[in-house]
Amino acid sequence: MTGHDRPLTARVEALREGVRRVNAKLPDLPAREVVLMRMLCLLGWEFTTNLDRRLRKHGLNDTDFRTLMVLFSSPDGMAHPSDLCHLVTLSRTNMTRIGDVLVARGLVTRTPSLEDRRRIVMRITAKGEALVRKLVPPLYPVLTALFADFGVREKRQLEALLLRLAAAFDAVDFRKES
């Protein structure tokens, strides 16, 4: 059994044990915070990996899907690539590559902006919208199952805590060298 085949709870326990060993060598380590961040990363990676597996059957990956979802969720179904980079957390180079893939598949169009011909507009097509409508509903049971043991209050608390963590990220400058 490889590490990725092990149950997620077993991997979390191995992570916790590893942090305990590091904490024994580095007593000032903020161990609980390290465990929490590593758990968030592990859970995000696990979700993305499983989502990618589902999307692969449709010739997409997570970043392709997130790009489509941002366009699908925008009021007019369009966005500038630079805006998509920020919302999908990609570099301009990767957004160009994803745009090329989505345009080639007929899921989005790319045209010059009417306001500024130097800017490009990406717009989801009817085919792209149809694919989103096909892909998203099968995720409902998965999401419901993941949070089945959480009450409404707990979900609100988790959302509020994650929002506070996002605000803390905004306040911390990770670019500073230590």
Residue 51 lies in a domain: yes
Alpha-carbon distance of 101 to 106, in angstroms, equals 9
Summarised one tens digit per residue, pLDDT across range 94-149 is: 888 899 999 999 999 998 877 777 788 999 999 999 999 999 999 999 999 999 99
Residue 16 lies in a domain: yes
The verdict on 74 and 136 lying in the same domain is yes
Residue 174 lies in a domain: no
Query: What burial class does residue 169 get, using C-beta atoms within 10 Å of its C-beta: 0-12 exposed, 13-18 middle, 19+ buried?
Result: exposed
The verdict on 86 and 113 lying in the same domain is yes
Residue 107 lies in a domain: yes
Q: With beta carbons less than 8 A apart as the criterion, state whether 99 and 108 touch.
A: yes
Residue numbers of the domain that contains 137 = 59-153
Name the domain boundary from 14, 41, 57: 57
- Look at the chain and report how many structural domains it folds into: 2
What residues are paired with 31 via a beta bridge?
A: none
The verdict on 92 and 149 lying in the same domain is yes
The verdict on 52 and 67 lying in the same domain is no
The verdict on 119 and 41 lying in the same domain is no
The verdict on 90 and 148 lying in the same domain is yes
Give helix 62-73 / helix 31-56 axis angle, nearest 10°: 90
- What CATH number is attached to the domain comprising 82? 1.10.10.10
Q: Per-residue confidence at 83, pLDDT binned at 50, 70, 90? A: confident
Alpha-carbon distance of 13 to 61, in angstroms, equals 29
pLDDT of residue 109: 96
The verdict on 49 and 123 lying in the same domain is no
Residue 178 lies in a domain: no
Q: Can you give the three-state secondary structure of 69-96, one letter per residue?
A: HHHHHCCCCEECHHHHHHHHCCCHHHHH
The verdict on 71 and 120 lying in the same domain is yes
Alpha-carbon distance of 139 to 153, in angstroms, equals 22
The verdict on 52 and 7 lying in the same domain is yes
Q: With beta carbons less than 8 A apart as the criterion, state whether 129 and 72 touch.
A: yes
- Sign of torsion over alpha carbons 161, 135, 79, 175: positive
Task: State the first-to-last Cα distance of the chain, in angstroms, to the nearest integer.
Answer: 38
Mean pLDDT (whole number) for 22-36:
97
Q: What is the pTM of this model?
A: 0.82
pLDDT of residue 1: 47
The verdict on 63 and 35 lying in the same domain is no
Residue 78 lies in a domain: yes
Residue 165 lies in a domain: no
Residue 43 lies in a domain: yes
Summarised one tens digit per residue, pLDDT across range 30-82 is: 999 999 999 999 999 999 999 999 999 999 999 999 999 999 999 999 988 88
> How, if at all, do strands 108-112 and 120-124 pair?
antiparallel
The verdict on 101 and 146 lying in the same domain is yes
The verdict on 48 and 125 lying in the same domain is no
pLDDT of residue 87: 84
